[in-house]
Structure 1
Amino acid sequence: MRKNCSYNFVLAIIFFICLLGAGASFLLQYVFYYNPCPLCIFQRVAVIVTGLVVLVLLLISHKKMLTKIISAVLILIPCAFGIVSAGRQIYLQHLPVDQVPSCGPGLNFLIENNSYFVVLQKVFNGSGECAVVEKLFYIPLPFWSLVMFVMIALLAILGITNKDYI
């Protein structure tokens, strides 16, 4: 392993993780015909936005500590949204059957007919389709998403110290 790897190297690893996450979500939808629920779509948007932020940050020099800290904060914002979305979906999937919210309108209908705040509120309140447990290698998909977002957050934070964690 390289000692004192550059923050751009850490960002490149994060970008690769984002590419894998976004690619896997599209593969599951369009090749394996998994139908994403609104919380799944929020997680997809979070990973794509995180990847785009990282792509822009790769163009910046990260020699100063302040630049690294600002970069980590910019990465953590969409990453936190993804963690909350995945955590909420895991919670909904573990509710007893009689407490699962009923199915609501689709995300497109909600966006077209409500403000963004109302859309966020309704999606995070949950719907029956978000409580359906879809698995990949016997592990629920939102758990995979949660692990990915936590890995990204840890890399962004630990990369600041310029130590050989990777």
Structure 2
Amino acid sequence: MRRLVFLFALLVPVVLLAVAFYMEYVMELEPCPLCWLQRYAFMAVAAVALLALIHNPGDTGGRIYGFFLALFAGAGLGIAGRQLWLQSLPPDQVPACGSSVDYMLEVFPLIDVLAWALKGTGDCARVVWTFLGLSIPGWTAVFFTIILLSGLGVLFGLFRRASSGR
């Protein structure tokens, strides 16, 4: 059962990242700084899930992987929440738009770009796409929540490895 959780935690981010790149390169929707950070959180979740699938750990190792799934999904959920909050602000309270992430990475140290990205910009407050009434960060929050709960389930032993000769 636990391997199915790890497979799910791998496939969801892979599919969502493919959708994100489709939106960026085909639909020409420019990702904002918080969108980039959510992508990195999904990449971290996918990396942990892939390692867990390859390793197929025992109970202690599985709990460690579950912790990291929950950690990265929780971080992504926090970032998505920040963007949803920015999207809910009245227009006069929205922060100013900033430079592109590519430009910032060329000009400033990574730590400064990270701090700036976490604050969000006016770009992050724009709702450029919705599906069933939810914006992009709304959907990422849904999926981060599901992965967070799955990781916590693994961490607290709700999903166990199928019994084997070990």
TM bracket, shorter-chain basis:
0.7 to 0.9
2: distance between equivalents of 1:100 and 1:23?
A: 29
What secondary structure sits across from 1:59 in the alignment?
Answer: helix
Q: Percent identity?
A: 29
2: distance between equivalents of 1:162 and 1:139?
A: 30
- Do structure 1's residue 82 and structure 2's residue 79 form an aligned pair? no
> Which runs of 5 or more residues in structure 2 are unaligned?
161-166
Match of 2:111 among 113, 117, 121: 117
The amino acid that maps onto 2:132 is F
> Which runs of 5 or more residues in structure 1 are unaligned?
none
Q: How many residues align?
A: 157
**1:8/1:62 contact within 8 Å kept:** no
Q: Deviations over 1:145-165 (max 9, x none)?
A: 0011110111122233237xx
4+ residue runs of structure 1 moved beyond 4 angstroms? none
**1:15/1:51 contact within 8 Å kept:** yes
The amino acid that maps onto 2:41 is A
Counterpart residue number, 1:61: 56
TM alignment of 1:1-166, pairs within 5 A: 5=1, 7-64=2-59, 66-134=60-128, 135-159=130-154, 160-162=157-159
**1:21/1:148 contact within 8 Å kept:** no
Cα offset, 1:115, TM superposition: 2.4
1: distance between equivalents of 2:44 and 2:111?
A: 19
Cα offset, 1:133, TM superposition: 0.9
**1:104/1:128 contact within 8 Å kept:** yes
Task: State the Cα RMSD in Å.
Answer: 1.6
